[in-house]
Chain A
Amino acid sequence: MKKLIIVIFSILILYGCDYIEINNLVIISGMLIDYKDNNYYITSQIIENENETKIKVYKTKGVSIEECLTELSKLSNKDLFISHLKVIILTESTIKNKNDYQDYFLRDSKSKMNFYVYYVDDKYKDEVLNIYKDNKGSALYIKDLMEFNNKIFSSSTPLSFLDLIYKQKEYGIDEIYPNLVVKENNGEKVLYLQNIIGFNQNKEKIILDDKDGIFYNMITNNIQKTSINIPCDNKDFTISLNDIKTSYKWNNNIFNINVKTNGKLSSYECSYNLDSVNSTKKISSIVNTFIKRNINDIVKISVNNKIDFIGIGNYIYRHDTDYFNFKNNNWNNKLDKIKIKVNVDTTITSIGEMRK
């Protein structure tokens, strides 16, 4: 009997002083953080549960994130619940001028840090969280958008919050952000992932378009498969690449990017007849050249703009610490002095159902 009393007493006090009804919680699913004139402007997408689930969007202003969220709590008359946060969207101003917005999310114990970070241009910032308000909300839609892109197109690259912190803390690697835009199609506005955006040390914006995005993901091992169109004799063919593996090697002061992949022809309009081994080898060689050229273009963007989003410096730091004093010098200024060699090896495993 004594034990039963102890157990019941323990259960009753198990939640301490932290019990809050779910109806009294404001669940933040997405946040857009803008920074101007020493103030944060936060647009929050919240999920309210009263008689029914409703998506609402509020804008608040404050000198800190905490102040903005306190204002949000006052506006909605409820306690905030930040553990369900799925996306934070940053504007150019926030990225360039106020990197310590991260402190709030790192320090707050309720923050799970499992959300993703996006970039949005100023012209879309007022729309991006408002678009799917009557549906499940933009934040959840963006999460599905990225998953779908990753699975099928791989033109964008997800950036989780912890990955962002990792890249900012490690030597020789710079973060780049997936870019959200709002597109109008047949009178309807939709959210769209277009391009990847980075900022170099001079705060200049660097853009990788969708095609560059595919090859960026290839060399950073962010995709397992993709499809690319390759020109040949004024026509082109499509090849599906899978089992894409990229490795780096730092040897004799040359940085090697080695890409190995298998390919399957999806469509073919070129003049080479495919029923000979030589033709398959020729196709393989064309694919290798095409991929190599595109990867070299990515490398040029990185080198010319002094932004190491590939992580060349990070690899060299880990394998040859004495090569460069990463602690006291700026690696991005050294980037153009590195010899970078790209090697691509594509094995055509299948030419499809047709034999020619």
Chain B
Amino acid sequence: MKNEKINSFGLSSLICSLCSAPFYGIFSSYTLHSSRNATPISLIIGFVISIIISYFILQFFKTNKNTNFSSKLKNIFNNFSYFLIIPTLACSLFGYILLTYRLTTFLSSQYLIETPKYILLISILLLTFYVANKGIETITRVSTISLYISIIIFLFDFFSLLPQVNFQNFLPIIDVSLNSIIISSIIFAFYFTIPIIHINIISMNQIVDKEKFNKYYYLTILIAFIMIFLSMSTTIGILGINTSNLFDYPLYTTLKRIKLFSFLDSLENISIMLWILYIINASSTMLSFVFSSLKDTFKLSIKKSKIINILILLISFAIPNFIFFNNNYNESYEYIWLPFSLLVFMFIVIIITLIKNRLTNN
């Protein structure tokens, strides 16, 4: 990896994409389905858990400040690190495949119905491959611009929809068991925070103003959470939980209610830019993480690295056709546990690295 210099704000804007990408259009429907009217409560509990998890991720990032992910694990675990790095990269790759495929199914089902899915998938894979190959500096520049655009779009959507919110729809506040709320909170926390691990694509020393990083880190996590929280709450407030649960993309259905000056409608087609930007940024980061970690771990030459990258792209195209069925219900609800277990594994890697590092230093 060439010696790229990145600023704190740029890297933090990437965190916003990484945190939000799993939710818009993907796991929001699961969260609404499992915690129903208690969704706001489960999101808040999930956010508290997220802060704890994000603290560990930040500590992991700060461990051996001049090393990136694979170098960190190699320094701490030596040869055993391969048993941690390779499964982690497999998890990241799976996350990449999940995000890109879910974006494909969304665009295919809502906009390009006649177009074969594989054409859309190829376009998205090629785009993310191109961005990932440009390196983290380019990705952070894109994500900084995306952050500004997404905040503007979000504020416009939120204030357009706010007059339609019926606060009675939030009652009764708790209409599911405590178990459902807690499970939903934990799932939210992991999906929201674990993707941040991908910032370890660089070492902390590559950040030019690293003393500001802490502040921006937590600030962007907070911004991402506020946007998700307000989006889901607005959906419940407008549609009601029973109507929201009818749809595969309840947030998108809510956006269809935006109408300006009684003649400007279909503005949801602009609003989904927010989702697309997040997913492209997050999936490009994950792919770039896989590429650079593989190169560093196995000390690959540029030529071999390019071949492996292309192979990974082909695998990313082939796997969805075997694993994911053409059924949005399965993708929304049944596949929650497989990615969740991979996220738990990644978290365990972070924790045992921190413990081992502490023990080694002591």
Using a CB–CB cutoff of 8 Å, the interface residues on chain A facing chain B are 10, 13, 15-18, 83, 106, 109-110, 112-114, 162, 165-166, 169-170, 314-315, 317-319, 321
State which of A165, A317, A318 has its C-beta within 8 Å of the C-beta of B243: A165
Docked complex Cα distance between A112 and B175 (Å): 30
Say yes or no for B59: interface residue by CB 8 A criterion.
Answer: no
Please tell me if the beta carbons of A318 and B168 are within 8 angstroms of each other in the complex.
yes
Indicate with 1 or 0, residue by residue over B247-275, a CB within 8 angstroms of chain A CB atoms.
10000010011010000011000000000
Determine how close the nearest CB of chain A comes to the CB of B126; give it in whole angstroms: 9
Return 15 A-B CB contacts under 8 Å, by A number: A10-B123, A13-B119, A16-B119, A17-B114, A18-B112, A112-B256, A112-B265, A114-B256, A114-B259, A114-B265, A166-B242, A315-B168, A317-B172, A318-B172, A319-B172
Contact A112 B240, beta carbon cutoff 8 Å: no
Which chain A residues lie closer than 8 Å to B172 at the CB level?
Answer: 317-319, 321
The distance in angstroms between the C-alpha atoms of A18 and B119, with both chains bound, is 12
In the docked arrangement, what's the CA distance between A317 and B113, Å?
40
Q: Report the minimal beta-carbon distance from B267 to chain A, rounded to whole angstroms.
A: 11
The reply to whether B257 and A114 contact each other, CB–CB distance below 8 Å, is yes
Question: Chain A's nearest CB lies how many Å from the CB of B146?
Answer: 18
Q: Are A169 and B114 within 8 A (Cβ)? A: no
What chain A residues lie within 8 Å of B120 (beta carbons)? 16
A residues less than 8 Å from B240 (CB atoms) = 166, 169-170
Which 6 A-B pairs have CB atoms at the shortest separation, nearest pair first?
Answer: A16-B115, A318-B171, A169-B242, A16-B112, A17-B115, A17-B114
**Which residues of the other chain, A, contact B114 by a CB distance below 8 angstroms?**
16-18
Count contacts between A and B, CB distance < 8 Å.
60
**Chain A residues positioned under 8 Å from B246 (CB to CB):** 106, 165, 169
In this complex, how many residues of chain B approach chain A with their Cβ under 8 Å: the count is: 27
Q: How far is the CA of A111 from the CA of B209 in the complex (A)?
A: 50
Residue with the greatest number of chain B CB neighbours at <10 A, chosen from A13, A106, A109, A321? A109
Other A-B contacts than A17-B112, A18-B111, 8 sampled, CB-CB below 8 A, are: A10-B123, A18-B115, A83-B266, A106-B247, A162-B239, A169-B240, A315-B168, A321-B172
The distance in angstroms between the C-alpha atoms of A126 and B119, with both chains bound, is: 46
Q: How far is the CA of A261 from the CA of B259 in the complex (A)?
A: 29
With a cutoff of 8 Å between Cβ atoms, the chain A residues found around residue B111 in the complex are: 18
> Given A162-B243, A169-B242, A321-B175, A112 and B115 touching (CB < 8 A)?
no
A166's partner among B112, B123, B239 (CB-CB below 8 A) is: B239
Query: Is B330's CB within 8 Å of the partner chain A?
Result: no
B110 CB-CB contact with A under 8 Å: yes
Output the nearest chain A residue to B253 by Cβ-Cβ distance.
A113
Chain B residues close to A by CB (< 8 Å): 109-116, 119-120, 123, 168, 171-172, 175, 239-240, 242-243, 246-247, 253, 256-257, 259, 265-266
On chain A, the residues within 8 Å of B266 by CB distance are: 83, 112
* Nearest chain A CB to B95 CB, angstrom units: 25
Q: Which residues of A contact B112 (CB under 8 A)?
A: 15-18
Bound CA span A109–B328, Å: 13
| A17→B116 contact, CB < 8 A | yes
Complex alpha-carbon distance, A170 and B115, angstroms: 37
**Smallest CB–CB gap between A167 and chain B, Å?**
10
Q: How far is the CB of A69 from the nearest CB of chain B, in Å?
A: 15
Who on chain A is nearest to B240 by CB? Answer: A166
Report B-chain residues with C-beta under 8 Å of the C-beta of A170.
240, 242
> Please, which residues of chain B bring their CB within 8 A of the CB of A18?
111-115
Residues of A within 8 A of B123 (CB): 10, 13
Chain B residues with Cβ below 8 Å from A315 are 168
Instruction: Name the residue on A nearest B265 (C-beta).
Output: A114
For B252, give the chain A residue with the smallest CB separation: A109
Closest residue of chain B to A165 (Cβ to Cβ) is B243
Which chain B positions have C-beta within 8 A of A109?
Answer: 109-110, 113
Q: Which of B109, B116, B119, B256 contacts A113 (CB 8 A)?
A: B256
> Complex formed: what's the CA distance from A112 to B247 in Å?
13
Which chain A residue lies CB-closest to B109? A109
Contacts of A317 in B (CB 8 A): 172
Minimum Cβ distance to chain B for residue A219 (Å) = 15
Residue of A15, A169, A321 with most chain B CB atoms under a 10 A cut-off: A169
